Amino acid sequence: MKIDLKKEAEFYKAQVVENLQLMCSVAESIPPFQEMDFDIQTCDQINFAHFELTNVIYILSIINFSKDFNNVQFCEVISKLKATKSIKYKLPKVNIEHAVNENSILYVGKSSGLFSTRLKNHFCNISGKTYSLQLFHLKSIKKLSQLKFTLYYTNVDFDKHGITEHQHRKELLELLETSLHHHYKPLLGRTGH
């Protein structure tokens, strides 16, 4: 078998450039982000019927870091919690290197399925097998119990652009999420997955 890496790299580059151009075109037509404030104690009581959307990009921000509890301390608490093997739920990757200055962006995400389901994974005691914020479990930790958040979200109308293939939609959502992740540098979560 002869492998032509240069040819394959050029072919892949052309695909990536085409997707990036399409991503920019789609981004121009996305409606403004909506926002909703909530706190960790009542996050599982949100009216999830309001979030029956698909193809959503979202950002969660902590709105009440203080001198007594800042982004670095938050990352340290989550890192210690992840290090204890006794927890029965999966927390996202901690990006302590992003805990600089006043960065309060907690998480950047996407949901190609029902956004309400993804939010329930983040906010409620639904599934410990899914990597999510697990706020339901975190609210019992004293240092985290008073946290307040803003959720920013918007959905992408792929039909408007004639993008019908599910896999192509997922790829474009991932590119949009990655662009926000690189810009906002969230405290939790990974990019490129």
Residue ranges of alpha helices (H) inside 128-165 are: 135-138
Task: Name the packing angle between helices 166-184 and 5-28 (round to 10°).
Answer: 80
Q: Quote the DSSP letter at residue 57.
A: E
At residue 93 the predicted structure's pLDDT band, cuts being 50, 70 and 90, is: very high
Using CA atoms, how far apart are residues 38 and 119, in angstroms rounded to an integer?
13
Which of 25-34, 107-116, 124-133, 153-162 shows the lowest mean pLDDT across its residues? Answer: 124-133
Using CA atoms, how far apart are residues 73 and 65, in angstroms rounded to an integer?
10
Using CA atoms, how far apart are residues 39 and 183, in angstroms rounded to an integer?
25
At residue 193 the predicted structure's pLDDT band, cuts being 50, 70 and 90, is: low
pLDDT of residue 192: 62
pLDDT in tens, 140-177: 888 898 999 999 999 999 999 999 999 999 999 999 99
Using CA atoms, how far apart are residues 55 and 129, in angstroms rounded to an integer?
22
Cα-based distances in Å from 56 to 89, 123, 155, 190? 24, 17, 4, 17
With left for phi above 0 and alpha for psi between -120 and 50, is residue 154 left, alpha or beta? beta
Provide the whole-model pTM: 0.91
Count of Cβ atoms closer than 10 Å to residue 91 Cβ: 19
Amino acid at 70: N
Q: Is the pLDDT of residue 89 over 70?
A: yes
